[in-house]
């Protein structure tokens, strides 16, 4: 219902009847992100898992924007995604997903209505990534299964955080405001989420708190100091009957080099819930958890590289995830990007898993 209301409002706002003046702009895009990886598991009890993986994510999008004048623009955006050979279903839009949202740009800030990430997610900074695997919500789970992150036909479990970004509500429909830049590089943002549940968020549809609201605030600042471009971000969130969350990120850039890191902490609000249909031990232990990442990246011309580290730990039990990644990409032309990565994952839970993944792939854009 939320999606239908949002789409109807956006389509009405963008209709030619809005104004007889101004200009329309349209854009369409598509992308194929295909990887091949060989996984080498540490333990013999993982010998039954496949060593070869071919995860692919297909995405397409469209944009219609109406410019009233140089100061005011109203746009409707549609992003679609479909995943193939995804070991973890509906995680980071694993099988399929969509985002439909409208954006009003004005001198007073940016107003966003619809399926988008919250303000803290949008303003966050941290370890550099070039999106071969991604340091947050890492695609390493498609090569080395992580028992702490589960959402498929067998059940749902988030036994610790999968990101230093505040992503609990995922792309649940929301209202977001992002301020214009002021005070030489400062911005803030606010988000209200009427219902926090989202397929790519951490809140489970089987949990009793899925119908509760969320409130998110964020602050960011960028400044040039002694030739370095320094950025910092703060985020805070409260999800009703679920948890409280905070995030902190720092980043420094100079002459192609980027050094950054971030932290996130959550505290539960009330008792840890259990699934309604099936018992999964501590399936939402992420609500009392913390996560950190750090990394260094470099880019020159069409080549980008990044070495990153991610760690997350749940308070209640020895549930933890540790990920090392070395990602590389080379932009051959505007339509083709070659990717390569080496990753190490170590996941401790009721069932442990660990190993290496050696990955190559390509992005095709059109």
- Please say if the pLDDT value at position 17 is more than 60: no
Tell me the per-residue pLDDT of 266-297, one tens digit each, with 9 for 90 and over.
Answer: 998 666 655 545 556 667 888 899 999 999 99
**How far, in whole angstroms, is CA 280 from its chain's centroid?**
25
Structural domain that includes position 225: 2-365
Give the angle 122-155-35 at the CA atoms, nearest 5°: 55
CATH number at residue 126: 2.40.160.10
Average predicted confidence (pLDDT) for the chain: 87
Tell me the per-residue pLDDT of 42-71, one tens digit each, with 9 for 90 and over.
Answer: 865 565 578 899 999 899 999 999 999 989
pLDDT above 90 covers a percentage of the chain that reads 64
CB burial class (10 A; 0-12, 13-18, 19+) of residue 63? middle
Residue 7's H or E segment, with its range, is helix 2-13
Please give the structure tokens belonging to residue 124: 């966050």
| Rg of the chain, C-alpha, whole Å | 21
| pTM for this entry | 0.89
* Domains held by the chain: number: 1
Residue 119's H or E segment, with its range, is helix 119-123
Query: CA nearest 172: which of 209, 199, 211, 152?
Result: 199
Q: Return the pLDDT at 198.
A: 86
């Amino acid at each position: 219902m939320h999606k239908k209301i949002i789409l109807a409002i956006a389509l009405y706002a963008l209709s030619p009847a809005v104004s007889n003046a101004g200009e329309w702009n349209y854009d369409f895009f598509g992308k194929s992100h295909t990887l091949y990886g060989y996984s080498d598991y540490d333990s013999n009890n993982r010998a039954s898992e496949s060593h070869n993986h071919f995860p692919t994510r297909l995405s397409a999008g469209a944009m219609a924007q109406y410019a009233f004048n140089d100061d005011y623009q109203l746009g409707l955006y549609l992003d679609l995604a479909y995943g193939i050979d995804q070991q973890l279903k509906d995680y980071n839009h694993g099988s399929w997903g969509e985002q439909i949202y409208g954006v009003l740009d004005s001198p007073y800030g940016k107003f966003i209505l619809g399926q988008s990430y919250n303000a803290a997610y949008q303003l966050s900074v941290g370890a550099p990534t070039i999106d071969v695997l991604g340091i947050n919500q890492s695609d390493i789970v498609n090569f080395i299964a992580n028992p702490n992150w589960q959402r498929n036909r067998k059940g749902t479990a988030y036994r610790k955080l999968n990101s230093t970004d505040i992503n609990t509500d995922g792309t649940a429909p929301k209202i977001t405001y992002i301020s214009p830049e002021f005070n030489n590089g400062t911005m803030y943002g606010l988000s209200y989420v009427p219902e926090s549940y989202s397929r790519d968020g951490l809140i489970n549809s089987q949990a009793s708190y899925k119908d509760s609201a969320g409130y998110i605030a964020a602050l960011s600042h960028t400044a040039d100091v002694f030739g370095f471009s320094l950025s910092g971000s703060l985020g805070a969130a409260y999800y009703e009957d679920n948890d409280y969350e905070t995030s902190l990120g720092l980043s420094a850039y100079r002459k192609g080099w980027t050094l950054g890191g971030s932290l996130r902490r959550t505290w539960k609000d009330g008792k840890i819930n259990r699934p309604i249909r099936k018992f999964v031990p501590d399936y939402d232990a992420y609500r009392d958890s913390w996560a950190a990442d750090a990394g260094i990246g470099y880019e020159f011309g069409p080549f980008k590289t990044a070495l990153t580290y991610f760690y997350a730990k749940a308070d209640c039990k020895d549930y933890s995830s540790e990920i090392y990644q070395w990602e590389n990409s080379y932009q051959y032309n505007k339509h083709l990007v070659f990717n390569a990565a080496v990753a190490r994952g170590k996941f401790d839970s009721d069932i442990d898993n660990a190993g290496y993944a050696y990955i190559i792939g390509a992005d095709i854009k059109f």
